[in-house]
Amino acid sequence: MGLKEVARQIKEVANIVDVIGEHISLRRSGRNYLGLCPFHADKKPSFTVNEERQIFHCFGCGAGGDVIAFYMKFHNLDFVEAVRELARRFDIPLELSAGKEETSGKREALFELNEKARRFFEHLLWASKSGEVARNYLKTRGLSEKTARLFALGYAPSSYDSLVSHLRLSRFDLALAEEAGLLVRREDGTFFDRFRNRLIFPIFDAARRVAGFGGRILEEGDPKYLNTPETPVYHKSSILYGLSHTRAAIKEDGFGFVVEGYLDLLSLYEAGVKEAVATLGTALTPQHVRLLRGLQAEWFLVFDADEAGFKAALRAAPIFFNAGLFPKVILLPEGHDPDSFVRHYGARAFYDLREGAEEVFDFMIRYLSARFPAGLEGRLALFKELQPALEAIKDPVLREMKISQVAERLKVSESALRKSLKTSPERVGSSPAFSYSERSLVEFVIHFPQYFLELWEAGLPEVLKDKRLLALLKALKNSKFSAASPSDLTLEDLELQSLWSEILLTPPPFKDYPPERVAVEIKSWLLRRRAKTRLESLLKAIKEAEASGREEEALRLLEEYQQLRLQV
């Protein structure tokens, strides 16, 4: 059987309550089962499992989906790997297509290559004479062998073919090693090592597998830091350095520091500050922030007190606000980074920096106010800098508080400021009785699938700008789904699984109106919208036909235009 058919059978034979119950404790509560979410630091049960619909959803961190989605997320597997393991467990025969088998096998081969390279680099650091330069460098940075071994640091020698020879002797595919970012291909087809004369930092994913590497040059040369390029298993925008080692301390202590470099994190860890993560030579991304949010901790962004540090804080703020997080900013004394500060003053002094930390929005106002003149132009420029952060705040109460704060600083009325901001959520349509957003339209057809095809054909996909909602809608269309039987729907994307489960476990929209009335009004609005779009294109076509002397075509288009006008 193929992958999709096996996935469907797994959802038929595997009771989601039994499978999840093997991993976390569940207790019955009405029609659902509740437990502490395994994907974030859940303090009260927000993890819901619905046996009737065979789905789960966490109303704390947003994770959700079917039994396959849980297995993927809990064990950090991709869809093919999760289906393969569950099929084996429930004795369901699985025949993967060549492409699926190759994709799954390639990922495992890349991880195996990275692990082989990690052991090679680590051996050279501690057992080779050439590794002495790296060992001495670690001593100058105050890093002990214990910490270096814990994070599996290594050394890449100056030779262009050390790793090439090692992998060739071990009968590894050099072309695959190139795809893993370990080797670089010359024009003549031969290979050379990407990392040379560098201290090596293995980068682990959530399952403690080596996804990639970072390397710091040990002598003069550029670039100072070199990272693995994007590969099928390494995406720097979604991995935080050190998280696999520091996650437990962050969850236990309820706070964490975000720093910018490998050595910053390692120096903090060496000093005893074990609640930190580091970005991988890139600015914070929405994926990073989702990882941080899942830990349910108070976050402190640690930046150098220079222009680059200020700008990094400004860029990070809207990303955090969009995720519903409001971190505090720690600006280190001038001339210090986390590494130098903790080595000079110690862990206690670093922890004490939290007392003077500033909420990121307050920091933005203070920092930007000092850089713009007090006149009209300066105040307008200040508003434009603050606007993205204001618009990113989704909590209505907090947003009002910040609007008040900014209005006072700009000396403008709150109402004027409010009118200048984008509203959320954006409405896409309305009827005499109610208005509706993209999300509510999709929620409606999920809860009342009897109207799905009718509204789809009336133009529902045409109004969806949200790519996730559109993707979910298309998946539903292809699966001929039933709201009562979610097992009919197979989604490989975990984000869509979470969206699907969240909608199924929340009340249907427009509950004050009969669904048949809602369907009629939405369909009417969709058809009017489609007709107006067609009228606009007809007018343009008529003008073009008249200008080109195509009178017969212009008359035909005009007749269609007049008939359509009667329907709008």
Tens-digit pLDDT profile for residues 118-153: 999 999 999 999 999 999 999 999 999 999 999 999
- What share of the chain in percent tops pLDDT 90? 37
How many CB atoms sit inside 10 A of residue 335's CB?
Answer: 10
202, pLDDT greater than 60: yes
Contacts of 366 (CB under 8 A, 6+ apart): 358
- Dump pLDDT digits (tens) for 16-62: 998 898 878 788 988 899 988 888 766 778 899 998 888 999 988 88
Distance from chain centroid for Cα 198: 30
Give the domain ranges of the chain: 3-89, 99-234, 243-357, 372-419, 426-568
What local confidence, expressed as pLDDT, does residue 543 receive?
A: 81
Cα(530)–Cα(462) distance, rounded to whole angstroms? 9
How many CB atoms sit inside 10 A of residue 523's CB?
Answer: 17
Three-state DSSP class for residue 438: helix
Over residues 500-507, mean pLDDT = 87
Cα(131)–Cα(212) distance, rounded to whole angstroms? 21
Three-state DSSP class for residue 520: helix
C-beta separation of 281 from 239 below 8 A:
no
- What share of the chain in percent tops pLDDT 70? 91
Contacts of 481 (CB under 8 A, 6+ apart): 449, 452, 488, 489
C-beta separation of 185 from 178 below 8 A:
yes
Whether 243-357 and 99-234 are alike in CATH topology: the answer is no
Alpha-carbon radius of gyration of the chain = 28
C-beta separation of 214 from 226 below 8 A:
yes
110, pLDDT greater than 60: yes
User: What's the residue count for the chain?
Assistant: 568
Contacts of 530 (CB under 8 A, 6+ apart): 458, 459, 462
Single out the residue of 206, 211, 205 nearest to residue 180, CA to CA. Answer: 211
CATH domain 243-357 topology: Dna Topoisomerase Vi A Subunit; Chain: A, domain 2 (3.40.1360)
Three-state DSSP class for residue 54: coil
Q: Which CATH architecture has domain 99-234?
A: Alpha-Beta Complex (3.90)
- Dump pLDDT digits (tens) for 539-564: 788 888 778 878 788 777 777 767 66
Lowest mean pLDDT among 17-31, 100-114, 257-271, 458-472: 100-114
Sheet holding 210-217, edge to edge: 154-156, 198-204, 210-217, 225-227
For 238-267, letters b (16+ CB in 10 Å) and e give bbbbbbbbbbeebbeeeebbbbbbbbbbbb
Single out the residue of 158, 258, 245 nearest to residue 203, CA to CA. Answer: 245
Cα(528)–Cα(272) distance, rounded to whole angstroms? 65
Over residues 483-489, mean pLDDT = 57
What the block records as the tokens of 312 is 């990094």
Which parts of 197-325 are beta strand (E)?
198-204, 210-217, 225-227, 255-259, 276-278, 298-303
How many CB atoms sit inside 10 A of residue 157's CB?
Answer: 20
What local confidence, expressed as pLDDT, does residue 103 receive?
A: 54
C-beta separation of 167 from 174 below 8 A:
yes
What local confidence, expressed as pLDDT, does residue 488 receive?
A: 62
Q: How many CA atoms lie within 13 A of 337 on its CB side?
A: 14
C-beta separation of 16 from 67 below 8 A:
yes
Cα(433)–Cα(452) distance, rounded to whole angstroms? 21
383, pLDDT greater than 70: yes
pLDDT band at 159 (very low <50, low <70, confident <90, very high): very high
Over residues 304-309, mean pLDDT = 79
pLDDT band at 456 (very low <50, low <70, confident <90, very high): very high
C-beta separation of 469 from 436 below 8 A:
no
Contacts of 520 (CB under 8 A, 6+ apart): none
Residue type at 453 in one-letter notation = L
81, pLDDT greater than 90: no
* 165 burial type by CB count under 10 A (0-12 exposed, 13-18 middle, 19+ buried): exposed
pTM for the whole structure: 0.65
Cα(218)–Cα(157) distance, rounded to whole angstroms? 10
Cα(241)–Cα(266) distance, rounded to whole angstroms? 10
Which helix or strand (DSSP H or E) is residue 35 part of?
Answer: strand 32-35
Cα(313)–Cα(330) distance, rounded to whole angstroms? 10
Domain 3-89 has CATH 3.40.50.11540: no
More confident residue, 430 or 223: 223
Cα(558)–Cα(460) distance, rounded to whole angstroms? 27
Cα(486)–Cα(504) distance, rounded to whole angstroms? 9
DSSP 241: B
More confident residue, 536 or 424: 536
What local confidence, expressed as pLDDT, does residue 258 receive?
A: 96
Residue type at 492 in one-letter notation = E
What local confidence, expressed as pLDDT, does residue 484 receive?
A: 46
What the block records as the tokens of 292 is 């941080």
Contacts of 513 (CB under 8 A, 6+ apart): 433, 434
Task: At 266, give phi and psi (nearest 5°).
Answer: -65, -40
What local confidence, expressed as pLDDT, does residue 392 receive?
A: 86
DSSP 24: S
What local confidence, expressed as pLDDT, does residue 568 receive?
A: 56
- Dump pLDDT digits (tens) for 336-375: 999 999 999 999 999 999 999 999 999 989 888 888 888 8
The DSSP string of 295-359 is: TT-EEEEEE-SSHHHHHHHHHHHHHHHHTT---EEEEPPTT--HHHHHHHH-HHHHHHGGGG-EE
What local confidence, expressed as pLDDT, does residue 128 receive?
A: 95
